[in-house]
Amino acid sequence: MRTSGIDRVGPGGALLLLFLVGACSQLDDGGVTSVTLPPSYAVSAQAETLVPADAFLAGIYDRSCRSCHAYVDSGAPLAGHAAEWQRRLAPGLNVLVEHTRTGVGSMPAMGMCLDCEDAAFEELILFMATAGGDAAEAE
Ligand code: HEC
């Protein structure tokens, strides 16, 4: 007599593990891409309202970065989602500036600001990483 059922547990678990490992890619320069940590409702609601205080940066942000980085459905790390930015900033700010210039994953090169300088990218990244502390802390 054979016992049935025992073999059934394995494959599903293995597939799930493969999916989780495969979903996060490690870039050559140490950066990570894809799979944003799911933001809380407070963080995603707040992201739609955040704009840099500086008028020059606010102008750039409004016509480029904001169209994705304020909306969770875009797959972009949200402005004010501190935990996600902390993870992405691990290899260094310069790596993120480089990724903004070249494009990464589904983000187009230059984040759709073709005349932007690296200095503006730095400021915009730091803005997105640090803006809106309250909602991020409540997470
Ligand atoms: C058309 C949508 C879109 C626009 C516009 C956009 N981004 Fe992004 N951005 C994304 C998406 C999607 C990701 C996530 C890419 C991934 O990790 O696969 C991303 C990721 C990033 C990252 C993280 C890169 C990394 O290596 O982890 C930075 C930094 C960034 N964007 C900066 C900017 C800046 C600055 C602007 C405005 C000048 C901008 N983005 C405009 C969609 C956009």
Long-range contacts of 71-76 (CB under 8 A, 24+ apart): 71/47, 72/39, 72/44, 72/47, 75/36, 75/105, 75/106, 76/36, 76/107
H/E element, 26:
strand 25-26
Same-domain pairing of 42 and 2: no
pLDDT band at 122 (very low <50, low <70, confident <90, very high): very high
Q: Could you tell me the distance, in angstroms and rounded to a whole number, from the CA of residue 100 to the centre of ligand 1?
A: 6
Same-domain pairing of 6 and 71: no
Looking at residue 97, which CATH number applies to its domain?
A: 1.10.760.10
Same-domain pairing of 19 and 41: no
Same-domain pairing of 19 and 61: no
How far apart are alpha carbons 92 and 138 in whole angstroms?
Answer: 26
Residue span of the structural domain in which 109 resides: 31-137
**For a substitution probing ligand 1, which of 25, 51, 68, 115 has the most ligand atoms within 8 Å of its CB?**
68
Same-domain pairing of 65 and 88: yes
Cut 0.85: pTM above it: no
Pocket of ligand 1 (CB under 6 A): 31, 33-34, 64-65, 67-69, 74-77, 88, 96, 99-100, 104-108, 111-113, 116, 121, 124-125
Same-domain pairing of 5 and 46: no
Same-domain pairing of 24 and 53: no
Ligand 1 atom showing the smallest separation from residue 74 Cα = 12
Same-domain pairing of 56 and 24: no
Q: Which of 76, 84, 80, 128 is nearest to 107 (CA)?
A: 76
Same-domain pairing of 113 and 69: yes
pLDDT digits (tens, 9 = 90+) for 31-63: 666 656 789 999 999 999 999 999 999 999 999
Ligand 1 atom showing the smallest separation from residue 31 Cα = 26
